[in-house]
Every structure is written in C-alpha cells, then in structure tokens.
Amino acid sequence: SQQGEEDPQALSIQEGENATMNCSYKTSINNLQWYRQNSGRGLVHLILIRSNEREKHSGRLRVTLDTSKKSSSLLITASRAADTASYFCATALMDSNYQLIWGAGTKLIIKP
Amino acid sequence: DTAVSQTPKYLVTQMGNDKSIKCEQNLGHDTMYWYKQDSKKFLKIMFSYNNKELIINETVPNRFSPKSPDKAHLNLHINSLELGDSAVYFCASSPLTGVREKLFFGSGTQLSVL
C-alpha cells in the first residue's frame, strides 16, 4: 500500500512555542485526517479535512490542505507539555471506501 | 463507558501458542477494524468488517483469523504465534460504512512473543 509521509520524524520545542508538522501523500483523496497517540495509548482523532476544504481549526489546532501539492500541515499553537505525543496523518483515498493510508508519524516533545 | 475496549492490554506468550484478542465497541458503529502497529510506529490495516461482513483482508498470514459474532464485537485469533507477530494490535470502529469518517481506537494490545 502507498504510505503518507510526515516530516519531521521528530520535533522538540519549548512549551509555549508553536509546532508545525507536515504530511504528504501520493494519490487523490476524499479526506485527510490527523490523529494523536500518547505513549502506550490508542490513537485519538483530532481533525478531518475534506478535499474541497483548505483550512480547518479546532481550538489550538489548525490544519491546512493543499491538494495541488498533495500536502497538509498541522499547526499546534501555544504548545503545552500535554501535547507531547506522536501525530499521524491518514488519507482516505478517492477510489476506496475502506482504506485509510497512514504516515509513520511525527514524534512531538514539548519541553517545560 | 469506554467506547472501544480491547482485552488484554498486554499479552506475553511463547512461540507456537494460540491466542485471542477481544474487542467491543458500544458506539453503535457498523464498521470495525484490526490494525497492527510495528516497532517503528507504522500502522497497517489487517482486517475490516462492516456489519459482521469481512470487507478488507490485507495480506495477513492465514494464522490470523478475525471473528465478528455481532457488529459490536470483532475478535482476533492468532494461531502458531511467531516472533515476528510481536507488535501492538489496535481495534477501531467508524460510524459510517467505510472509513470516510473518523476512526475510534481502542487502547491497544501489546503482544510479545518469546
């Protein structure tokens, strides 16, 4: 299966700073989703952005989608120690009702 | 009142054994999944069931057999466990047919095969 790619693989910033993670994909999508995974836990859905949307907000999260570049970014503003986690993007392909293609994740560490 | 619950959380067993992981969701979702997360954190879908019907069956050894007694349960049985089966296995569900909407994940089962 094709994979999404995230960068950076790891990101370490000071509490209060903004964190930006990027996701690139290869084929046309129906939507793109971002998830958070805390250490030893399951994944938690953060935001879903559809292919006809360019930007979405949820609290301190902002997601952008550029379908011409086949890329998305997740911005976390005013980071907190509790934001320390791995963040994954997943793409729902246009030609499949059931497949989500996952990236390898970005490990975010917020230093107090 | 956990939405997607899977048991056990940890499973340590010897090579060659047979083991099962159970999953239940109380969200009323029609679609359930099993994912495998390897040591590099990469998530790979194994199976998907929609209303007890197998929809996705990725390239997974025959030793892995999912069973869905009803749409709220999707169990995973593994025969003749191998070292390479060591991973974290996640159950998930989604509210609509297919994965066009968000997934709800269980907290995972860490399987260690010795």
pLDDT digit string, tens, across residues A54-105: 999 999 999 999 999 999 999 999 999 999 999 999 998 877 666 788 888 9
Residue of B5, B29, B88, B103 to mutate, testing the A interface (most A Cβ within 10 Å of its Cβ): B103
Residue of A40, A42, A86 lying closest to B105 (CB–CB): A42
Answer whether B16's CB lies under 8 Å from B80's CB. Answer: yes
Residue A64 burial class via C-beta count within 10 angstroms: exposed 0-12, middle 13-18, buried 19 and up: middle
pLDDT over 70 (residue B64): yes
Nearest C-alpha neighbor of A25 from the set A100, A107, A106, A108? A100
At A98 the pLDDT is 62
Size of interface A-B (CB pairs under 8 A): 62
Arithmetic mean of pLDDT, B26-33: 92
Separation in Å, CA B13 to CA A47, A110, B64, B84: 37, 36, 16, 13
At B97 the pLDDT is 63
Scan residues 24-53 of B and list those with Cβ closer than 8 Å to A. 31, 40-45, 48, 50
pLDDT digits (tens, 9 = 90+) for A6-23: 889 999 999 999 999 999
pLDDT over 60 (residue A2): no
| Residues A87, A61: Cα–Cα separation, whole Å | 12
DSSP code for A69: T
pLDDT over 80 (residue A1): no
At B55 the pLDDT is 79
Tell me if chain B has a CB within 8 Å of the CB of A87: no
Residue A48: strand pairing partners: A33
> Tokens in use for B77?
């049985």
At B95 the pLDDT is 83
Per the model's pLDDT, the better-predicted residue between A26 and A63 turns out to be A63
Strands B10-13 and B109-113 turn out to be: parallel
At B1 the pLDDT is 59
| Residues A77, A58: Cα–Cα separation, whole Å | 11
At A97 the pLDDT is 63
Tell me if chain A has a CB within 8 Å of the CB of B104: yes
Cβ–Cβ below 8 Å for B4 and A40: no
At B2 the pLDDT is 67
Per the model's pLDDT, the better-predicted residue between B100 and A41 turns out to be A41
